[in-house]
Amino acid sequence: MRDKFRFVVILLVFLLGTLALARQILVGRDQDTSEKIALPILGGIPKFELVDQYSDSFSADNLKGKVTLTDFIFTTCPSVCPMMTQKKLKVFRRHQNNSKFQSLSITVNPAYDSPERLKTYAESYGIEDKKWLFLTGDEKKIHRLAWEGFKVGSKTELVNHSPYFILSDSQQRIRGYYNSDDQYAMKKLKKEIIQLLNETD
């Protein structure tokens, strides 16, 4: 009888210990998944000065204090650029009322894409908000900015542009690249914009 009682007690202790351990594992797992992983710092954006679709000057200083989503396009692009602009527009609409967010589209064909043509292109997508600026300027400077600054495109050809969106933080640091053709990358972009906005003072 005593042996049976002792066995029952040991069994209960074992079961209670197992339940306690399982609870600790589950709680720890929940804590791990709730913690946000810091985004990597992938480089800094160098000094530059371009002109927007309103013929106003825009420089790297205008990136300070803002989470910025940048891409490189050109207005006569027949395929990739319209798709990128449409996808970016959906992301932009979510945050256009947030004072800490802005969008940039930099032309890789500045010889053709004057401020007036960029303005027409923007308006064709219903973009008239000055928080999304389309930039043009000197071809060599834009090429250097794309290749050496944002690290996209081609070393030899400016018009060979990139399908990537580039996310930078309020300190002008690149925090992510997102392939506009990749559905998973676009979901990741949406989450990480919110993460950076929450981190911005």
pLDDT in tens, 123-145: 999 999 999 999 999 999 999 99
Question: How does DSSP classify residue 55?
Answer: S
pLDDT in tens, 42-51: 999 999 999 9
Helix (H, G, I), strand (E, B) or coil at 18: helix
Structure confidence at residue 160 as a pLDDT band (50, 70, 90): low
pLDDT at position 37, please?
85
The residue-averaged pLDDT of 3-14 equals: 43
49-199 adopts what CATH topology? Glutaredoxin (3.40.30)
Q: Give exposure, 103-136, as e/b (b: 16+ Cβ within 10 Å).
A: bbbbbbbbeebbbebbbebbeeeebeeebbbbbb
Kindly tell me the sign of the dihedral angle through the C-alpha atoms of 173, 175, 177, 178: negative
Helix (H, G, I), strand (E, B) or coil at 79: coil
Structure confidence at residue 201 as a pLDDT band (50, 70, 90): confident
pLDDT in tens, 49-92: 999 999 999 999 999 999 999 999 999 999 899 999 999 999 99
What does pTM read for this prediction? 0.80
pLDDT at position 89, please?
97
Residues 74, 108 contacting (CB under 8 angstroms)? yes
The CA–CA distances, whole Å, from 136 to 49, 78, 109, 139, 160 equal 9, 19, 8, 8, 16
